Amino acid sequence: MVRVFFFFIAVIAIAAGGAWLADRPGALTLTWQGYVAETSLLAGGIGLIAFSFLIILVWMLFRVITRMPDILARIMRERRRDKGYRALSQGMIAIGSGDAKLAARLANDAEKMLAGEPLTGLLKAQAAQLSGDRTAALAEFKGMLERPQTRLLGLRGLFTEAKRAKDMTAARHCAEEAMKLAPKVPWAAAALFEIQCASRDWDGALQTLSVLGENRHVDRADARRRRAVLLTAMAQEKQDVEPEKALALSAEAHALDAGLVSAAVLAGRLASRAGNYQKASRILEKTWRKSPHPEVTTAYGFLRSGDSTRDRFKRIKTLSQKLPHNRESRMALAGAAIDAQEWETARETLGALVKTGASQRVCELMAEYFEAQGDRGRAREWLARAVHAPRDPVWIADNVISPKWAPISPVTGRLDAFEWKVPVESLGAPEPTVEIADFTVAEPEPEPQPVPEEAKDITVAVKVTAPQPETIEVGTEKPEAVEDEDVKVVEEAAVVGEERPATEAQPAADAEIVEEPKAETAERAPDAAEPVAAEESIEKAPEKVSAKSVSAKPAETVKSVPPMAENVEPAPAAAGDVPPAKAAESSSDPHTRVFKKEPIPAMVGEEGGEATLKKRPDDPGPAGNGEDKNGAAPRGLGLFSTR
């Protein structure tokens, strides 16, 4: 707009000047060597201007002719430079696309056309790296060190090559030089910090972390976390040599990050060792509220050395009340209750844990509980469940599981790499199928009465019914007796699958029939049926006969016939009694005797009831009545019921 304005001003001025000259005519006379030239003033002015333009044009033509070689050389240089930059850009594209051959060819072309261009060296070095020629790449990067403008670029390239060759000494030297040359460059300080952490140079890492924080390469929260981890690592190394300094370092780390479990556990243990139990408790409780962890409960429980299991139970109970619904609180309380033999608390806590999901640690606690109760069958069952149960969180870093926390990864040397989480491989694993009844907390059963020695050969008073006969294999089991006033009860059951060899004679006790004096025998209906195969097994067995139910009619008794041995004749039965079934040899094994099962009697004093067999008496499994193979009652109480 300004140019247009000045253009119009110039046109107006020229027009005004022309008009002024036209209004004032005059004559212009030129005399040269006898020649006289006369013209008007206006025509003379126009001729003078035209002659000036002609002189300028001739001069310009002369300059063009004399400077033609330089002009041609400049044109060629510009074309060459354009081709060089075009090759450089295409070479960078080839590097990005992974075409090493094309990148190397374009790098050579760019170097020829752009002599002294820094980017050509970078292109050649990257092409050599892409093709795997480490020697050529190192040569190019070392060449960059000679130029001030490419020195930092050469250090970066040498650092990268040193890391690829796993030469940490050279890599650290390059990072230190780059940090001195440009402290504000992020990669130099970050690379030096990483190398210092991997080499466990905690003091140097703290200094480099300060530089990173000052230049705002990391945020404040990340810097506090890293500093806390470094202080914890230093405290772990000094805890046996300088416990006081280690306590100060771990306490500072806890102050920076209260959620760092390892710092709190170390500070609490060192403080309790120094006798400052109040400080140790305060540190562990603060961390427990932010990061519930089993290591915190262990350190809190063993805060005072020499305490009894009951004291530890009280302390763990106090800690668990701060997070009563947390899973770690319940597991810690259950373990402490089992150690202190607080069975009621253990049952309630384990029942709540099982309802929320039986992981491996929960199954192990269940096995420990039943082992302490004397129920080894249930303990083995829960240990078997623990094999396929979902896994609990562990310390894991770079797919490496560690039993304890470490400040750096054992694979990459990365700081604060360990995380408390469930391994990835078990996330998709199906949970074990367990019935809900197995997780039901049962009330304590009354302690069984001791069996007197004189009550082992007493018969049972029963009332006979006549259900369909079943076939069982003959076995023996040690009878169990309970005394109640004048009536004594003996429970006998057959053991499935037990073979007795055929001998010429058995001890007299095997065939002896014991009768209750002054007792009337109940009637039994004879049951005639063909023997079946020896492989068939029973699914039901008579339940335990209580003394209370028998005491209604003490006068009615029946003879109890033990399993018969081969070549031994049974004693004659009283009038109205049913003789025992005769043995028939199995076709598969001559030593196995097959008997027809007698009808299961109903209890005297019960109306129309039948005693059914819930399980094999010698079965120690989880659905049993708690008896072992010798017929003895368990020492403890069952926690879960499968009935």
Residue 597: its pLDDT value, please? 41
Please indicate, yes or no, whether residues 566 and 452 belong to a single structural domain of this protein.
yes
Which helix (H) or strand (E) segment is 471 a member of?
Answer: strand 471-473
d(CA 624, CA 642) in angstroms, rounded, equals 9
d(CA 302, CA 529) in angstroms, rounded, equals 69
pLDDT of residue 385 exceeding 90: yes
Q: How confident is the model at residue 365 (pLDDT cuts 50, 70, 90)?
A: very high
Pairing of strands 27-32, 480-484: unpaired
Judged by average pLDDT, the poorest of 35-39, 200-204, 219-223 is 35-39
For 451-506, the pLDDT digits (tens) are 555 444 444 444 444 444 443 343 444 444 444 444 333 333 333 334 444 434 44
Please indicate, yes or no, whether residues 462 and 314 belong to a single structural domain of this protein.
no
pLDDT of residue 570 exceeding 70: no
d(CA 128, CA 135) in angstroms, rounded, equals 8
d(CA 437, CA 420) in angstroms, rounded, equals 32
**423-450 average pLDDT score:** 49
CB 205 within 8 A of CB 395: no
Residue 580: its pLDDT value, please? 40
Residue 16: its pLDDT value, please? 87
Contacts 24+ apart (CB under 8 A), 148-153: 149/118, 150/118, 150/121, 150/122, 151/181, 152/178, 152/181, 152/182, 152/185, 153/118, 153/122
d(CA 583, CA 518) in angstroms, rounded, equals 31
d(CA 120, CA 99) in angstroms, rounded, equals 17
Over 254-294, what HEC string results? HHHCCCCHHHHHHHHHHHHHCCCHHHHHHHHHHHHHHCCCH
**239-247 average pLDDT score:** 94
Please indicate, yes or no, whether residues 474 and 586 belong to a single structural domain of this protein.
yes
Residue 182 lies in a domain: no
CB 550 within 8 A of CB 460: yes
d(CA 281, CA 217) in angstroms, rounded, equals 37
Please indicate, yes or no, whether residues 454 and 592 belong to a single structural domain of this protein.
yes
Residue 155: its pLDDT value, please? 93
**DSSP per residue over 27-53, as a string?**
EEEEEETTEEEEEEHHHHHHHHHHHHH
pLDDT of residue 319 exceeding 60: yes
pLDDT of residue 512 exceeding 80: no
Residue 527 lies in a domain: yes
Q: Which two tokens stand for residue 591?
A: 């030593």
Mean of all residue pLDDT scores within the chain: 74
Please indicate, yes or no, whether residues 452 and 572 belong to a single structural domain of this protein.
yes
Among 357, 375, 395, identify where a domain stops.
357
In the chain, pLDDT over 70 holds for what percent of residues? 66
- For residue 491, give the 3-state DSSP assignment: strand
Overall size of the chain counted in residues: 643
d(CA 458, CA 513) in angstroms, rounded, equals 10
Place of tokens 């076709």: 587
Residue 343: its pLDDT value, please? 93
Residue 541 lies in a domain: yes
List residues bridging with 491 in a β-sheet.
480
Return the closest-CA partner of residue 459 out of 488, 494, 493.
Answer: 488
Residue 230: its pLDDT value, please? 96
pLDDT of residue 517 exceeding 80: no
Please indicate, yes or no, whether residues 338 and 470 belong to a single structural domain of this protein.
no
Torsion angles phi and psi, residue 14, rounded to 5 = -65, -40
pLDDT of residue 640 exceeding 50: no
**DSSP per residue over 82-106, as a string?**
HHHHHHHHHHHHHHHHT-HHHHHHH
For residues 290, 295, 301, 307, the Cα torsion angle rounded to the nearest 10 degrees is -150
Containing domain of residue 337, as a range? 307-357
**367-387 average pLDDT score:** 94
Residue 5 lies in a domain: no
Residue 521 lies in a domain: yes
Among 324, 341, 357, identify where a domain stops.
357
Please indicate, yes or no, whether residues 588 and 477 belong to a single structural domain of this protein.
yes
d(CA 111, CA 107) in angstroms, rounded, equals 6
DSSP at 436:
G
Judged by average pLDDT, the poorest of 143-152, 250-259, 330-339, 529-538 is 529-538
d(CA 342, CA 230) in angstroms, rounded, equals 42
Residue 376 lies in a domain: no
Q: How many CB atoms sit inside 10 A of residue 197's CB?
A: 26
CB 370 within 8 A of CB 351: no
What distance, in Å, lies between the first and last C-alpha atoms of the chain?
102
Residue 602: its pLDDT value, please? 39
Within the chain, how many helices (H) and strands (E) appear?
A: 22, 12
pLDDT of residue 289 exceeding 60: yes
The model carries a pTM of 0.59
Please indicate, yes or no, whether residues 482 and 602 belong to a single structural domain of this protein.
yes
d(CA 364, CA 378) in angstroms, rounded, equals 11
Q: Which of 143-157, 436-450, 557-571 holds the top average pLDDT?
A: 143-157
Please indicate, yes or no, whether residues 456 and 567 belong to a single structural domain of this protein.
yes
pLDDT of residue 552 exceeding 90: no
d(CA 530, CA 584) in angstroms, rounded, equals 9
For 70-89, the pLDDT digits (tens) are 888 889 989 988 998 999 99
Residues 6 or more apart from 6 whose CB is under 8 A from it? none
* Count of domains forming the chain: 2
**296-316 average pLDDT score:** 92
Residue 183: its pLDDT value, please? 85
Judged by average pLDDT, the poorest of 17-26, 85-94, 283-292 is 17-26
Residue 170: its pLDDT value, please? 92
d(CA 297, CA 278) in angstroms, rounded, equals 16
Place of tokens 């006369």: 38
- Cα 45 to chain centroid distance, Å, stands at 100
Please indicate, yes or no, whether residues 342 and 482 belong to a single structural domain of this protein.
no
Among 322, 357, 392, identify where a domain stops.
357
Q: How many CB atoms sit inside 10 A of residue 540's CB?
A: 15
Torsion angles phi and psi, residue 496, rounded to 5 = -75, 140
CB 458 within 8 A of CB 514: yes
d(CA 1, CA 546) in angstroms, rounded, equals 120
Please indicate, yes or no, whether residues 486 and 607 belong to a single structural domain of this protein.
yes
Please indicate, yes or no, whether residues 478 and 588 belong to a single structural domain of this protein.
yes
pLDDT of residue 7 exceeding 80: yes
d(CA 643, CA 636) in angstroms, rounded, equals 18
